[in-house]
A = this chain, B = another copy of it.
Amino acid sequence: MTEKVKIAIDLMGGDNSPDKTLEGIDLFIQRNLNLNDYFFYLYGDKDLVLQKLKNLKFLKSNYELIDTKIIVSNELSPIAALKKGKGSSMWESIQSQISLNTDVSLSAGNTGVFLVMSKMILKMLEGIDKPALAGLWPSDKGMSLVLDLGANIECSEKNFIDFSEMGSALYKSLYPDEDIKVSLLNIGSEELKGTETLKNAHLKLKNLERTGDFKFIGYIEGNQITSGESNVIVTDGFTGNVALKTAEGVANFLTKNLKKYLSENIFSKLSIVFSYFSLKKFKNKLDPRKYNGAIFLGLKGPVVKSHGGIDSLGFSYSVELCYKIAKGKLIDKIKANLSHVKNLNEKG
């Protein structure tokens, strides 16, 4: 008998919580009815949560509700939140990895505070000096992982190598059957392009190739993020964040314009009737809620951040992400990968 995956969830973070978070968990269970496979530790204001719980269809057993009255607000700075945040639903959901041996923690609350609290409670993995925020992007060949998406605005070559190892481990835990192709995001594919830091990281990653369980394919450019030729794309948090948000902006801009033109006259409106199911499939495949959830890498325990403004369906995919990375033994895989780097460093 395998042990259940223990998922700790901050019910109070993000917009419309705890309704959104509870409905999200309910949707996750609806899609994954094997109740013997996971167990939830839920942190939130009992009075609010119990009211909502009555109306849910699937979240009936396999959970424990822990009453927490303090909520970390979105307006607090990380420093203020650390002072006031002990005992909050966010704090306790992270702390449970120590006290209750839970496997993973999830919150839709304030990103900066969640990152700082996680670092403080879980501590960094040995040898890692900067954590990274990793997220999924759809591509021509399935899904790709991009990191860092904003945890560090400046990165060293060591960070880039750590991100490659940790990102590969994460990808493997999510998609065990895929070959991993790591790349560095740059502004040209020639070896002489880019910053000195990138060039040095490129050189070292080429040597790692022999020991790591991933293939380093070199540099890629921004237009190749969606091509799928690389499925683990490494960059600094400034560039990664700009790329992610630019992509969001362009996607919104295009769909907004498409809608505008398709509803401009009776013929184009009629066309929507004929293409209804196709357009729905298109929307469905590219629905950003399906890859909601960023993973903090570099800590001794896995921590997932859901978008604060996402709805319950989006939150349910963050729950799924938690389940998958715990099931896929993310932290064991990261440790195994980091031993490659350590060996490399010791060899000189």
Chain A residues with a Cβ under 8 A of chain B: 138-140, 150, 153-154, 185, 187, 194-195, 221-227, 235, 237-239, 241-258, 260-262, 264-265, 267-268, 270-275, 277-279, 281-282, 285-286
* Chain B residues with CB below 8 A from A261, complex form: 275, 278-279, 281-282, 285
**B194 near A153: Cβ-Cβ < 8 Å:** yes
Selected A-B contacts with CB under 8 Å, 22 pairs: A139-B253, A153-B187, A187-B238, A187-B245, A222-B249, A223-B248, A226-B249, A226-B253, A242-B243, A250-B251, A251-B254, A261-B279, A261-B281, A261-B282, A261-B285, A262-B279, A264-B278, A267-B275, A268-B278, A270-B274, A271-B271, A271-B278
Contacts of A241 in B (CB 8 A): 187, 221-222
A281 to chain B, nearest CB (A): 5
Given contacts A153-B195, A237-B187, A262-B278, contact A226 B252 (CB under 8 A): yes
Question: In the complex the two chains form, is B238's CB within 8 Å of A195's CB?
Answer: yes
Q: Which residues of B are found within 8 Å of A238, using beta-carbon distances?
A: 187, 194-195, 239
Rounded to whole Å, the gap between the CB of A157 and the closest CB of chain B is 15
- Give 19 new A-B contacts, CB below 8 A, not counting A222-B249, A226-B253, A251-B254: A140-B253, A187-B238, A221-B241, A221-B242, A222-B248, A224-B249, A225-B246, A243-B243, A247-B249, A250-B250, A250-B251, A261-B278, A261-B279, A261-B281, A262-B282, A264-B281, A268-B274, A268-B275, A274-B274
Q: Indicate if the CB atoms of A282 and B257 lie closer than 8 Å.
A: yes
Check B268 against A277 for contact (C-beta < 8 Å).
Answer: yes
List chain B residues, Cβ under 8 A from A260.
282
Q: Which B-chain residue is minimally distant from A221 (CB atoms)?
A: B245
A245 touches B223 (CB 8 A): yes
In the complex, residue of chain B having the shortest beta-carbon distance to the beta carbon of A254: B254
Return the contact of A257 from the options B153, B224, B286 (Cβ within 8 A).
Answer: B286
A154, B195: Cβ atoms closer than 8 Å: yes
Does the CB pair A222–B245 fall under 8 Å? yes
List of B residues within 8 angstroms of A270 by Cβ: 274
Q: Can you name the residue of chain B whose Cβ is closest to the Cβ of A273?
A: B271
Alpha-carbon distance between A179 and B81 when the two chains are bound, in angstroms: 41
Q: Which of B243, B256, B258, B274 sits near A222, CB closer than 8 Å?
A: B243
A223 to B195, CA, bound (A): 25
A247 CB, nearest partner CB in chain B, Å: 5
- Least Cβ distance of A151 to chain B in Å? 10
Q: Which residues of B contact A255 (CB under 8 A)?
A: 254
Q: Is the CB of A278 within 8 A of B254?
A: no
The reply to whether A254 and B286 form a contact with Cβ atoms under 8 Å apart is yes
**A275 and B282 within 8 A (CB):** no
Which interface residue of A195, A221, A247, A249 has the most chain B CB atoms within 10 A?
A249
A66 to B248, alpha carbons, bound, how many Å?
47
CA distance A247 to B251 in the complex (A): 9
User: Min CB distance, A161 to chain B, in Å?
Assistant: 19
Question: Residue of B at shortest CB range from A222?
Answer: B245
Q: Contact: A226 with B239, CB < 8 Å?
A: no
